[in-house]
């Protein structure tokens, strides 16, 4: 018999595992159920993007991921026998200038171990079949090992994929369309391969093929098969042999055909039910955004749901989850459709036009950089959110990700990066004094901030930072150049959310703005 719980997470894929782990880490009681009797032994997703690597790093999970996977530093695009250009992820602006190529079930196993460290587990062979709203609770009926069980939960989060029962039972629709032309995939080695094994290769030919790097010099080969019954290896070989006639596939494993969809849920929340990952949005696999976007859903939702579950914040705070994450889903689905269109062009004249357009993008440094940032998922900006506030600034504005390129120095020589000072469980206030601000001024503002935030549950940590070598007494310091990169005029207050985005930037009325921000989160936006 399942015990009642605070949060019921439905689905133990990467999104559900990360969400449950982050809730448990914040002392929120949580159960995870999954319909499968065992974890999947193979999954076609392969890419972990730089932004996801940053999140894994903040949770202490990066080491196993780097050990198990392979770095994918560039993506090179070909068509009609020529190189159209490439995306170099070292330019994306992250400390991780690469993707990690790793099969999704390995990522899932790393997240399962993380869940176990938070004293959580997955209750398998358990399917959600009914939800009844009891006002302050949801009564969930679970089909488990052939028997029905019931569990009361304050909140239910559906992470149960495209065919989400949670979404169906909550009455939420999905809008979009099916991708008509099927995909196929297999894993293999390439005998005679002479190029880098730390890259992805895209061939936009009559039979489009994508080679995605995996560990042990193997590849996950994605393609659009020539017919419903064609030989998948022969299909892929017919394209690759035009470029590399002497190579061949060997050790082929896990061939499969599949259909994809471009769809987004009309809502990400219905009362006490929330959706995340593929239950909320599905897109073309061509850019690898599906799993990565689900991981960011989990990180975005976890801290908000924890504050609500502990009674620290009004449940209206949860409305910001949809406001922030649904536009991201719309962006990646639209981008995926654009790639689908580019892949499936048949007319030769249209192909030439497509190729010329892609060459122009790759030839323009600004556009090429934009593509790298979008691939890395570092272009996400929550500036439109009702729970971010403060001074807009071209250097770093509310809603944007705190950059990971700013170094902080300490008197004892124990330097670190600015983002490392941000608390991954709660909000961190970073008080940064500009080059002209004296130590006593910084100390006075620091003291006022600590007094003001003392009664709040929002701010968990306060860090004061000066600017200029040796000029700030006991405080850590950054260089004037770094202060310029952040756009520090005199004294600036940043409040960094647990997901690494700026919740508040204040350049003037620091204490008043801090009070207003704390109230905004606790009472919720009007």
Q: Return the pLDDT at 526.
A: 77
Cα distance between residue 444 and residue 462, in whole Å: 13
CA–CA distance, 76 with 111 (Å, rounded to integer): 30
- Residue 425 to residue 81: CA distance in whole angstroms: 50
| CA distances, 14 to each of 222, 279, 330, 423 (Å) | 21, 12, 21, 23
- With H, G, I as helix, E, B as strand and everything else as coil, classify residue 221: strand
pLDDT at 469: 62
What's the topology of domain 389-523?
Glutaredoxin (3.40.30)
- pTM for the model stands at 0.96
According to the model, what pLDDT value does residue 474 have? 67
User: What local confidence, expressed as pLDDT, does residue 306 receive?
Assistant: 97
390's tokens: 């403060």
Mean pLDDT, the chain cut into blocks of 10 residues (526 residues total): 88 97 97 94 87 95 96 96 95 95 95 97 97 95 93 97 97 96 96 94 96 96 96 97 94 95 98 98 92 97 97 96 98 94 90 95 96 95 97 95 92 87 90 86 87 77 83 76 93 96 96 93 88
What CATH number labels 177-261? 3.30.9.10
Angle at the Cα of 199 from the Cα atoms of 195 and 205, rounded to 5 degrees? 80
Domain boundaries, the chain: 5-46+103-173+266-342, 177-261, 389-523
Rg over alpha carbons for the chain, rounded to the nearest Å, is 24
Q: How far out from the chain centre does Cα 355 lie?
A: 30
Cβ-based neighbours of 299, under 8 Å, separated by 6 or more: 18, 22, 55, 498, 499
Q: What is the biggest distance separating any 2 CA atoms in the chain, rounded to whole angstroms?
A: 76
Strands laid side by side in the 491-496 sheet: 389-390, 502-506, 491-496, 427-433, 459-467, 476-478
409 DSSP assignment: B
CATH architecture of 5-46+103-173+266-342: 3-Layer(bba) Sandwich (3.50)
pLDDT value at position 63?
A: 96
> Among candidates 228, 300, 298, 220, which has minimal Cα distance to 259?
228
């Amino acid at each position: 018999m399942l015990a009642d719980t605070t949060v019921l997470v439905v689905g133990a894929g990467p999104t559900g595992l990360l969400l449950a782990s982050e809730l448990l880490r914040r002392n929120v009681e949580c159960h995870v159920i999954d319909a499968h009797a065992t974890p999947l032994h193979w999954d076609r997703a392969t890419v972990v993007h730089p932004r996801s690597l940053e999140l894994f790093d903040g949770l202490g999970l990066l080491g196993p991921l780097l050990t198990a996977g392979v770095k994918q530093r560039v993506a090179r695009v070909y068509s009609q026998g020529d190189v159209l250009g490439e995306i170099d992820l070292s330019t994306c602006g992250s400390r991780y200038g690469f993707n990690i190529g790793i099969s999704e079930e390995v990522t899932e196993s790393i997240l399962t171990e993380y869940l176990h460290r938070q004293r959580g587990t997955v209750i398998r062979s358990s399917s959600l079949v009914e939800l009844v709203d009891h006002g302050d609770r949801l009564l969930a009926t679970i089909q488990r090992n052939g028997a029905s069980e019931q569990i009361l939960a304050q909140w239910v989060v559906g992470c149960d994929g495209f065919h989400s029962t949670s979404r169906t039972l909550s009455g939420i629709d999905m809008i979009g369309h099916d991708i008509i032309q099927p995909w196929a995939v297999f894993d293999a080695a390439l005998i005679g391969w002479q190029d880098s094994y730390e890259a992805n290769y895209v061939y936009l030919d009559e039979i489009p093929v994508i080679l995605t790097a995996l560990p042990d010099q193997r590849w996950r080969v994605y393609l659009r098969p020539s017919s419903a019954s064609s030989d998948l290896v022969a299909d892929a070989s017919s394209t690759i042999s035009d470029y590399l006639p002497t190579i061949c596939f060997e050790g082929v494993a896990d061939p499969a055909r599949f259909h994809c969809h471009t769809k987004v849920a009309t809502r990400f929340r219905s009362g006490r039910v929330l959706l995340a990952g593929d239950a909320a949005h599905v897109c073309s696999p061509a850019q690898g955004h599906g799993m990565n976007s689900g991981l960011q859903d989990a990180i975005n939702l976890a801290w908000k749901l924890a504050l609500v579950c502990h009674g620290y914040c009004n449940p209206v705070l949860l409305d910001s989850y949809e406001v922030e994450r649904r536009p991201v889903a719309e962006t990646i689905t639209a981008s995926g459709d654009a790639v689908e269109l580019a892949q499936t062009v048949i007319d030769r004249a249209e192909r030439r036009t497509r190729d010329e357009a892609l060459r122009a993008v790759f030839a323009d440094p600004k556009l090429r950089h934009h593509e790298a940032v979008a691939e890395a998922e570092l272009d996400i900006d929550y500036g439109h959110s009702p729970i971010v506030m403060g001074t807009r600034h071209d250097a770093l504005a509310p809603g944007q990700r705190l950059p990971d390129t700013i170094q902080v120095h300490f008197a004892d020589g124990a330097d670190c990066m600015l983002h490392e000072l941000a608390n991954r469980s709660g909000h961190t206030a970073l008080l940064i004094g500009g080059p002209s601000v004296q130590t006593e001024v910084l100390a006075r503002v620091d003291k006022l901030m600590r007094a003001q935030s003392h009664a709040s549950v929002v701010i968990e940590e306060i860090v004061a930072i000066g600017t200029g070598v040796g000029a700030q007494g006991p405080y850590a310091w950054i260089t004037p150049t770094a202060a310029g990169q952040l756009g520090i005029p005199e004294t600036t207050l940043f409040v960094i959310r647990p997901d690494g985005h700026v919740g508040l930037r204040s350049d003037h009325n620091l204490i008043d703005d801090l009070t207003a921000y704390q109230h905004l989160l606790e009472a919720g936006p009007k």
